[in-house]
Amino acid sequence: MAIASPSSSVTVRSFSPVWSIKRTSQSQLRMMAVRSSNSNSLSVSTTPILTNLQHNCATPLPLLRHVADSMADDMRAGLAVDGGSSLKMILTYVGSLPTGQEKGLFYALDIGGTNCRVLRVKLDGKDIDIKKISREIPAELKTGTSKELFGFIASGLWELVNWEFEKFGIQKDRKREIGFTFSFPVEQTSISKGTLIEWTKEFNISDTIGEDVVACLVEAMKELELDMFSVTALVNDTVGTLAGARYKDGDVKFAVILGTGTNACYIERMKAIPKLNSQGHVTKDTIINTEWGSFSEGLPLTEFDLGTDLGKQAFEKMVSGKYLGVIVSRILLKMAESENFTRELNEMQQDDSDDLEIVGSILNKTFEVETTLNMRKTAVKVIDTIVRRGARLAGAGIVGILEKMEQDSEGLIYGKRSVVAIDGSLYEQYPQYKLYLNEAVKELLGPEKFQYVVIEQFHDASGVGAALLADTSSNVTSTS
């Protein structure tokens, strides 16, 4: 892997080639078709809406600086006492990270906002071979019962066991340690135990709140006679990303998820966590899961944001892929609901044809309307306004964490190469979002500090990291 020197600019790389969206591809996700009651055209007066929108969504440097500073302040307040800020600042009990020398077979189970994945990771030095079984989580399971959801999650393990037996002759009853990536707020009591604080990303299963999610998974595995698996690590997807990225690059300092949802975690010194008091932790450093999606200080809100129930997970709803399309659809027609419009946003924003043919085609298919060139130009400007705001706010959040780490340990960040590991479909698939985020980071830091920062994409890092942490945690337990 090429290493950026301190004089290099921000670079973006990945474990594997990024899947690029063809401009002519069609998303399977469709917004609700809405017609004007009077005519077959967009029924909003676009010019006043766009003017107000651009004013209200503006992210000038002073606003971004306020967001970054407030993020750092909230981090400290959350470390001082539980409930001290909008950021939960959850202790993960991860006391050691991969060294890059790990070899062998490792396993992970990863549940996010959209998909459930089972991963078999084979490591040989820096080479990574991943077998991935991915299934979309049915909508009804997101609001069903705990038994139904965890039963679905566990069932994917059987497919892996059967595949290993048929492919390599590995006996089905062979013991396997597995890391469990669970991308929701969990209060951990150890590396392998944690109770669910709340659901996010439109999950709402009441009988899981306050329960140990590892115990829920173990019970589901017992039901399916999957006792060959032992869950030895419970990690958030950001924590998994940090660990997986650290395997590839020892300069990784923290990780960010920018996909359906968003979150960040970073390496913190134990002595900088006042709320631990005298609990007797022997490690010097640990990973803190910030749960930054709930951050809300100084964000540039609009009436369309408030319409998405912004009182909860405010930062996430302005930054992540789950909600960008919802906000744009509300603006375009002042009334629409969407599961996800993000891929179409990308296609429309990349349309550089004179008549914006792609924009017109997508709007026609989505809303069943005919549009003029002026209307298509307005739609692109609306998209650009919302995407730019979200990406720049994410950049400000990144700078907030960098600044907090540097202020606590001078020279930790800006005196040496510092890597921010990013994973997630939004950052991976949306070039304009990526560009705006990097621009905001550079604008906030200035050239002197910016030269030390590398924003690097690590595809599938969360699953790799969870698998590695499962092995590390098992070794620590067996020798303690």
Max CA separation in the chain (angstroms):
74
Radius of gyration of the CA atoms of the chain, in A: 23
Phi and psi for 19 in degrees, rounded to 5?
-70, 125
CA–CA distance, 466 with 423 (Å, rounded to integer) = 14
Angle between helices 342-349 and 431-450 (to 10 degrees): 80
Which residue of the set 85, 183, 192, 294 is catalytic?
Answer: 183
Which residue from 422, 423, 462, 421 is spatially nearest to 108, judged by alpha carbons? 462
Query: Where do we find the tokens 């539980």?
Result: 82
Sheet of 252-258: strand order equals 90-91, 285-289, 262-269, 252-258, 418-423, 453-457
CA–CA distance, 346 with 53 (Å, rounded to integer) = 19
Q: Is 376 a catalytic residue?
A: no
Q: Is 237 a catalytic residue?
A: yes
Which residue of the set 70, 117, 146, 192 is catalytic?
Answer: 117
Which residue of the set 74, 237, 423, 471 is catalytic?
Answer: 237
* CB 451, CB 8: distance < 8 Å: yes
Q: What stretches of 44-179 show up as alpha helix (H) in DSSP?
A: 46-56, 61-80, 146-168
CA–CA distance, 442 with 445 (Å, rounded to integer) = 5
Q: Which residues contact 41 (CB under 8 A, 6 or more apart)?
A: 369, 370, 371, 375
Q: Please state, as a whole number, how many other Cβ atoms lie within 10 Å of the Cβ of residue 311.
A: 9
16's tokens: 């594997």
CA–CA distance, 433 with 414 (Å, rounded to integer) = 25
Beta bridge partners of 129: 122
* CB 303, CB 53: distance < 8 Å: no
* CB 405, CB 264: distance < 8 Å: no
Q: Is 305 a catalytic residue?
A: no
Burial class (CB in 10 A: 0-12, 13-18, 19+), 377: middle
Quick one: which H or E segment has residue 358? Answer: helix 357-367
Catalytic residues: 117, 183, 237
